[in-house]
Chains A and B, each alone.
Chain A
């Protein structure tokens, strides 16, 4: 039974109840209030698993080696723009600007989705990412802590280094997850969920937020402002976009499928 179950979990990539892959952390679900959306309604987030580290250049290289379709010179422009992996030295060569153990950047939504599907993971949903990213080293929810917020906002004001740091040197949060803040921006699966044209069906919360954020001055607004930066950044993306400071990590439902006996 045990062996069968283990085999099945290997085959399907599903984890058994209570077993979390070593490279992932479990984030207990709960409720949180996103900075906007359906105004100040708490949203429920189910328990989920998230990668402890962002995916690295070396890991992505191994993937494109196996899947030539996703190599720089083969990928179609529907799936990735011209900047795709352009900091690598070649199709299958990292070079000096892409340290093997640094987060991979310049990857499109389509490419990272293919990478994660291949290992039976998925991108985190925006709610999941934002929910997990409230944590600092000692609190699961540091989102109202001025020190935490000041650090995040400081990072947002700094340009990304050309050579990103080794992911093992990034700050660890209380879940054992590194680099949600202070390293690179990260893709979420539903990055395209905000209407930005003002022509949306119901209303255009982001447009409104764009104006509101201009007046962000006090400590409460600082929390919203940091989140606003992320929402605004995401809504400027398209599925084939790549940029110098946008990477990704995997996630998985924690709802575990018990193998049928």
Chain B
């Protein structure tokens, strides 16, 4: 039983990677044509409501149309989350000012009990990130679980009220499809940047047409 289960996950991971690649290729040729159609596998099909750090209600689909860098963590986390947000900032730093404006950065709290909008705003303020482009989202436990399952992030509340969670930054296409995941902390963002620039270039050439 063990072997098939592990095989299964490997095979499916490969299949997912292939699908990801197709999504990028498709974008560069026919993004315009498909823009009106709901992208297959789009996370923007999830209809949960969230509150952002400005106390405004948003749904994920509000981010449609621009690439998104999304991560899940929690603000009172001492170890990984500051490093995760540093990783997000490291990706952002490599972009031109024009490119920065084209990317939304979303931090979803897995600790909605403690991560109030005020706390998320303070978390961002401490890091001096641009809060017009960075969103800190708080939702119900159920919405958090649903999103984590949809994007393949794993987490668990520990008994000391900390959480164990995947350290993953997902690049989501303007249509809502995950096209790259950066795993781990302090990972070299080169691959993520290649994927992100490809999406940005594709949107740019679509605009030019």
Contact = CB atoms under 8 A, between A and B. Distances in A.
6 contacts: A76-B42, A193-B156, A200-B167, A201-B162, A235-B154, A237-B9
Interface string A76-100: 1111010000000000000000000
A211 to B, nearest CB: 13
A190 interface: yes
A63 interface: no
Contacts of B155: 192-193
- Chain A contact-residue range equals 35 or more
A239 B5 CA distance: 15
B115 to A, nearest CB: 16
A25 interface: no
B126 interface: no
Contacts of B183: 197, 199
A201 B154 CA distance: 11
A79 to B, nearest CB: 8
Contact of B158 (A38, A79, A194, A237): A38
Contacts of B45: 76, 78-79
A163 interface: no
A232 B80 CA distance: 25
A199 B184 contact: yes
B120 to A, nearest CB: 19
A196 interface: yes
B150 A199 contact: no
Interface in B159-193: 159, 162-168, 183-185
A48 interface: no
A200 B149 contact: no
A189 interface: yes
A77 B41 contact: yes
Given A201-B80, A236-B6, A238-B12, A189 B145 contact: yes
A110 interface: yes
A235 B149 CA distance: 12
Contact of B185 (A81, A194, A195, A199): A199
A202 interface: yes
A243 B1 CA distance: 13
B2 A232 contact: yes
Nearest to B73: A201
A195 B165 contact: yes
Contacts of A232: 2, 5-6
B154 A192 contact: yes
Contacts of A38: 158-159
Interface string A119-149: 0000000000000000000000000000000
B86 interface: no
Contact of B8 (A110, A199, A201, A236): A236
Contacts of B153: 192
Nearest to B7: A236
A143 to B, nearest CB: 19
A229 B155 CA distance: 20
A238 B80 contact: no
B159 A201 contact: no
Given A201-B165, A229-B1, 5 more contacts: A81-B12, A189-B145, A201-B80, A232-B6, A243-B8
A62 B153 CA distance: 32
B2 A76 contact: no
Nearest to A157: B1
A79 B146 CA distance: 10
Contacts of A243: 8
A200 B5 CA distance: 21
- Among B77, B155, B158, the one with the most A-chain Cβ atoms within 10 Å of its Cβ is B155
